[in-house]
Chain A
């Protein structure tokens, strides 16, 4: 992983506004939910685009490696990212 891109402090994915593209830095989860995220293709370095919010603001839809995946705040707040 390129460390030169880590200029800012990591932000949880849940705080990113719609339309932004970010890169995953780290996952804070462990166990099954971590496994699940890795299976969905969310690994350090993955590029994620924030697509849109649902009417109540949670969950939020993301484009992850070519598939649209909705994540609840519970999960997305565990994913640390950097805007790119």
Chain B
């Protein structure tokens, strides 16, 4: 199967997520994070919009997107629903997960709350398992300072293996830095090496067995290690989404193998 418009990520964006790229040169940036960390404030600060994004009504993605230009490149920012996890317990999580998985954004910015980093880092790890193109945006730095919390961004960056930027979206502090990092990641100027989480021996063995088969099925459309983990977990929603988003790509020539995985 050749690389037709049908099979590339941007056509998928158009079809499934109802996102139309006026300019096909635009880089797609996903904005993820826990609820109430100021994702929408970051979104508004970057795009200059006054979007009151609030909660995610169903599966519509159209309303929460905006553009900005940085270093002569155009970026389209998609504000995802606030979630604690990407393991699809709810519609919101599924929307967020499907977008990062199948929408293939050029970079994903995970916004976290500097005042309670611990609870936020769960989502960061999940996004890092899914994609390499991650930038961590530690927001609400002013709030943290006020509470006497100092965040060691350098150490965080080293231990996670992804770029980390401290911001106060409300006042605009750090946003230029954030745009620089997003720019570098999207253009592939900077290669990240997200730290891999090692699971117990049994799980790692199973993963090792599944990954080659999954690589065979998905090629480079999905991270095989991540899919293997979800399969081991018995996540039905992922299979449904794969069916929905990648059907034409995979089923046309590899019917039987996928059928095996459905069992």
Contact = CB atoms under 8 A, between A and B. Distances in A.
Given A39-B85, A66-B115, A66-B119, 18 more contacts: A32-B89, A36-B85, A36-B89, A39-B84, A39-B87, A39-B89, A39-B122, A40-B84, A40-B119, A41-B119, A41-B122, A64-B119, A65-B116, A65-B118, A65-B119, A66-B116, A67-B116, A67-B119
A16 to B, nearest CB: 20
Interface string A46-76: 0000000000000000001111000000000
Nearest to A64: B119
A12 to B, nearest CB: 22
A35 interface: yes
Contacts of B115: 66
A41 to B, nearest CB: 5
A41 B87 contact: no
Interface string B114-141: 0110110010000000000000000000
Contacts of A39: 84-85, 87, 89, 122
**Contact-size category for B:** under 10
Contacts of A67: 116, 119
B119 to A, nearest CB: 4
Interface string A13-46: 0000000000000000000100110011100000
Contacts of B87: 35, 39
Nearest to B234: A31
Interface of B: 84-85, 87, 89, 115-116, 118-119, 122
Contacts of B118: 41, 65-66
Q: Which 9 A-B pairs have the closest CB atoms?
A: A66-B116, A39-B85, A65-B119, A39-B84, A41-B119, A36-B89, A65-B118, A35-B87, A32-B89
A64 B84 CA distance: 13
B185 to A, nearest CB: 26
Contacts of B84: 39-40
Contacts of A64: 119
A11 B70 CA distance: 55
B85 A35 contact: yes
B199 to A, nearest CB: 14
Contact of A35 (B89, B116, B119): B89
B33 to A, nearest CB: 13
A39 B34 CA distance: 11
Contacts of B89: 32, 35-36, 39
Contacts of B85: 35-36, 39
Contacts of A40: 84, 119
